[in-house]
Structure 1
Amino acid sequence: MHTVELLPDAGLESAVREMWSRLVAAGLPSLATHGHATNRPHLTLATAASVEGLAVAGLPVPAELGAVRFLGRAVVWEVRPTAALLEVQARVCAALPDPWPPPGEWVPHLSLALRVRPAQHEAVLAALGDPPRAGGWFVAARSYDTATRTVTGLA
């Protein structure tokens, strides 16, 4: 499988990494400890069997972060679904064979931690505190290949 991901500007990336660091400092799961070279804050637009020939148009696109919440076993920072962001995601999905999730089911977010147990929820919220108002831009796109564990820029 291949992902289609948007990458944040330096300021927004720094805000996400700060949240990752808060979790590490509290001894909780955090994507800061994920050691793969491709690990960095990103917004996944879709996954598909192939992204061959895909170019992501419409960047940069504004990004506004909302609340921190739990999404399954993940801790995520919501990304407000602006019209511009929804348009980029819809165009990407229209260009891919069998994309997932389809536009109407997409929950835009930046992941902070995975594999968080329910017993850790209270500690996670305490460690993250009241998240700062954060915003910026998604400035680039890439694809992550789950088979080869490599990334490719999508221009």
Structure 2
Amino acid sequence: MEYVWRERRVEVGGRRRIYKVFEHPGSVVIVPEQDGKLALVRQFRPAVDAWLWELPAGTLEHGEEPLDAARRELEEETGLSARRLEVVASFYLAPGYSTERMTLVKALELTSVPAHPDEGEMIGEVRWFAPEELLRMAAAGQLTDAKTLAALLLVIPDRRPR
């Protein structure tokens, strides 16, 4: 898949501007939920040289629908398969420079399958967390991935840390 920077010429208030825009095919973030707990992956991110706790996520392949991508990414990264997938929301990740629109999908009625991360992915472990623990981690700055924080805001009903 090729990612491309393009220039966009925009006229706002009588002034012409040129913006560099990163064209992106879209992505998904998945919230695996079972028995009241949510699964996150610990993944190494070379851009920030750190291991981060994140919800599983990935880029749509050419022509792929978000629910199909969610099913594929969930299995690749976590070794889980969902009998039921529900779209919760859709949002832009960085509209200041990118067209990437992410679809948030809840994965329910889960079973185990063999995990098979993409070649470049470094996933250390998959762990289940109670929502309250994730809220405490977010408040303490231990969750630093924006897509994970946004998704948790939308899926945990009572978002106040205790």
The structure whose residues are more often helix, as a share, is: 1
The structure whose residues are more often strand, as a share, is: 2
Class of the TM-score when normalised by the shorter of the 2 chains: under 0.3
Using structure 2 for the length normalisation, give the TM-score. Answer: 0.24
Using structure 1 for the length normalisation, give the TM-score. Answer: 0.25
